[in-house]
Amino acid sequence: MTETIKIKELSHFIGGEMIAGQNGRFSDVFNPSSGEVIAKVPLASIEEVKGAIDKAKAAFPAWRDLSVARRADIVIKFRNLLTENMDALIDLICTESGKTAEDAKGEITRGIESVDLAIGAPHLVKGEYSVNVGGQINVYSAKYPLGVVAAISPFNFPIMVPLAQTSMAIAVGNAVILKASERVPMTALFVSELWKKAGLPDGIWTVINGDKDAVNELLRNPEVQAISFVGSTPVAQYIYETGAKYGKRVTALGGGKNNMVVMPDADLEQVANSFIGAAYGAASQRCMAISTLMPVGEETADRLIMILKEKINALKVGAYTDEEVDFGPVISQQSKESVIAAIDKSVEEGATVVCDGRELEIVKESNGFFVGPTLIDHVKPGMDIYEQEVFGPARNIVRVPSLEEAIKLINEHELGNGVTIFTNDGAAARKFTTEIDVGMVGVNVPIPIPVGYHNFAGFKGSRFGEGHMFGPDQARFFTKTKTVSERWLTSSANTGSTFAFPSNND
């Protein structure tokens, strides 16, 4: 007898409570490993979003006025709760995203780095002070929170990206509304409970589940002062342009088409191992995943492919419940079909499939959304699989004759998120890091994603706006600077009217 899966009806988290959806619209939440619906998430109406914003606005003044030390203390308690509930978080992430336990744990650990940085908010919001700039005037600056701010997060990192987008925003005194991906809402709702347990005042953390209606209200509503977005490039551009139209501060991070350049002097065994993890980890559903391998020289390419072919064919794809699995499914049936279509199109355009993930038994027979690791050789600029981001395990090889040609091709691409070079030649590495027009650069590092206390963002079509996701720029993005010039007059200082700037006086 087949076991019936109990489908859970999820909620929003508003004003410190789990609140049921009111308008009757829901979206299915799948377990990507089985293809089964495991929950239904409410899609908020415009009125529900407005109500959540109003509650956040009402809660903001008291949180703003709380001492930075007290706010940091609550962030510390939240951080401790994250580590105490690591196993529960891993299980949620695996269930709704299909990641392996190792990958889920790594994501949580990286997310905690952002929380650690937020604990240092008292240092990051310090102002500046100048004594007697002229005319006995002292000038100082101070940073203040913006008010109600919003984060719109993607499905591929159910906890790391939301923590990176929101931890500092809360620590510096804002009220935060998270519009989590409707594909992975359960992790965000669980995080809400941890903030509550940590002592965060009701209304300072809100989770609104929804689709474009909810997003558009966050973009239009005048009470929302800033938007942080991570997702695809077309949507990032829409978020930026729409938010800017309504006078908001916006940072919108888009996709990536990340390259690994391999010089002839590199250790190809090391390169192959690095490429495997960077290219296929999390079923390649990372904006910093390596999409394109660029070996310099035909001999380098031929030798590297021989090594890679054996390693890629040995990878195991399956459900997270199998501890021997290297990576799991993509997020949806639509994603699976899109990845397979991209592989098919590359063959039509003249590329060669070296390792074919379409042919695995689990891909053909499972109800889960599995695609096997695929490697495609002889890809050329202009082919769809080279130009477009493929959010799944279809990786490609572009053979180049020289480092100069690799730099030229990478710089000409519309996306500029991450790139790395493998070489033992310091001069080649220096040339590469100097000339490449990409936001995050690695040298012998497979995924050049910065640690949580360095800024994270790409260039070109990979970022719209000037903010960052990780790093100290978060404190700047979520605060506004007020500059005060003050002078305390005495009777002897009264020299009559003057048309010069006061600070021009001695």
Phi, psi of 85 (to 5 degrees): -105, 25
What contacts 226, CB < 8 A, 6 or more positions away? 146, 149, 150, 169, 248, 249, 250, 477, 478
What confidence tier does 492 reach under pLDDT thresholds 50, 70, 90? low
Position 300 pLDDT exceeds 90? yes
**For residue 206, what are the contacts with CB-CB under 8 A and spacing of at least 6?**
12, 13, 14, 15, 52, 55, 56, 175, 176, 177, 178
Task: Report the chain's mean pLDDT, rounded to a whole number.
Answer: 92
How far apart, in whole angstroms, are the C-alpha atoms of residue 337 and residue 371? 9
Enumerate the β-bridge partners of residue 144: 480
Three-class secondary structure assignment of 420-478:
EEECCCHHHHHHHHHHCCCCEEEECCCCCCCCCCCCCCCEECCEECCCCCCCCHHHHHC
Query: How high is the pLDDT of residue 506?
Result: 58
Length in residues, the chain: 506
Q: For residue range 459-481, list pLDDT tens digits in order.
A: 787 788 887 777 788 889 999 99
Residue type, 343: I
Q: Please determine, for residue 22, whether its predicted confidence score (pLDDT) is greater than 50.
A: yes
Among the listed residues 152, 249, 204, the one whose alpha carbon sits nearest the alpha carbon of residue 479: 249
**Token code pair at residue 475:** 């404190």
Radius of gyration over alpha carbons of the chain, in Å?
25
Across 64-78, average pLDDT: 95
Read off the pLDDT of each residue in 235-257 and give the average, rounded to a whole number.
Answer: 93
pTM: 0.91
- Read off φ and ψ for residue 412, nearest 5 degrees: -80, -15
State yes or no: pLDDT of 398 exceeds 90.
yes
**CB burial class (10 A; 0-12, 13-18, 19+) of residue 367?**
exposed
pLDDT for 463: 83
Instruction: Convert the pLDDT of each residue in 10-19 to its tens digit.
Output: 999 999 999 9
Residue pair 117/146 in contact (Cβ under 8 Å)? The answer is no
pLDDT at 380: 96
DSSP 200: P
CA dihedral 113, 116, 117, 121 (to 10 degrees): 160
Q: CB burial class (10 A; 0-12, 13-18, 19+) of residue 444? A: middle
* pLDDT band of 165, cuts 50, 70, 90: very high
Residue 2: predicted pLDDT: 41
Among 287, 383, 400, 403, the one annotated catalytic: 287
- Using alpha carbons, select from 89, 452, 101, 88 the residue that is nearest to residue 282: 101
Average pLDDT on 227-237 reads 93
pLDDT tens per residue across span 301-343 = 999 999 999 999 999 999 999 999 999 999 999 999 999 999 9
Q: What is the mean pLDDT of residues 355-360?
A: 94
Q: Is the pLDDT of residue 396 over 60?
A: yes
Using the predicted structure, report yes or no on whether residue 357 has a pLDDT greater than 60.
yes
Q: What proportion of the chain, given as a percentage, has pLDDT over 90?
A: 81
Angle at 237 between CA 233 and CA 242, to 5 degrees: 150
- Domains of the chain and CATH, by start: 8-254+462-483 (3.40.605.10), 258-443 (3.40.309.10)
pLDDT at 455: 75
Residue 347: which H helix or E strand, with range?
helix 333-348
Q: Is 287 a catalytic residue?
A: yes
279-292 average pLDDT score: 90
pLDDT surpasses 80 at 426: yes
Kindly give the pairing relationship between strand 249-253 and strand 224-230: parallel
- Per-residue burial over 194-208, b if 16 or more Cβ lie within 10 Å, else e, is bbbebebbbbbbbbb
Tokens at 386, concatenated: 């080279």
Instruction: Give per-residue pLDDT as tens, 401-410.
Output: 999 999 999 9
**191-220 pLDDT, tens digit each:** 999 999 999 999 999 999 999 999 999 999
pLDDT of residue 336: 95
In the block, tokens 């981001």 appear at: 389
Q: Which residue has the higher pLDDT, 456 or 249?
A: 249
